[in-house]
Each structure stands twice: as C-alpha cells, then as structure tokens.
Amino acid sequence: MFSLSTPEETIERPFVVGRYIPVVRSLENVSEG
C-alpha cells in the first residue's frame, strides 16, 4: 500500500530539486555579477 503512493513522491521530488538547482545556481551567478 505504501509502495503505491511513495514511488511517485520519490520520483517527483528529485525531478523538482533537479529543476530548481540550475535556477538557484543561475540566480547565484547573477547576484555575484
């Protein structure tokens, strides 16, 4: 029962983090100038 709901979260979360990391890095690069 757990395995039905948890895989979606474990798959989605890394994707979300993977998408935000480049954005955060680009923002940091811009702020550094």
Q: What is the pLDDT of residue 21?
A: 85
- DSSP code per residue over 1-33: -HHHHHHHHHHHHHHHHHHHHHHHHHHHHHHH-
Local confidence band at 33 (pLDDT 50, 70, 90 cut-offs)? low
Beta-carbon count within 10 A of 21 CB: 10
Provide the number of structural domains found in the chain.
Answer: 1
What's the CA gap between 21 and 4, in Å, rounded? Answer: 27
Q: What is the pLDDT of residue 1?
A: 46
**What pLDDT, in 10s, does the model give residues 6-30?**
666 666 777 777 788 888 888 888 8
The boundaries of the domain holding residue 28 are: 1-33
Q: What is the pLDDT of residue 19?
A: 80
First to last CA, the chain: 50
pLDDT above 60: residue 2? no
Q: Is the pTM value of this prediction over 0.75?
A: no
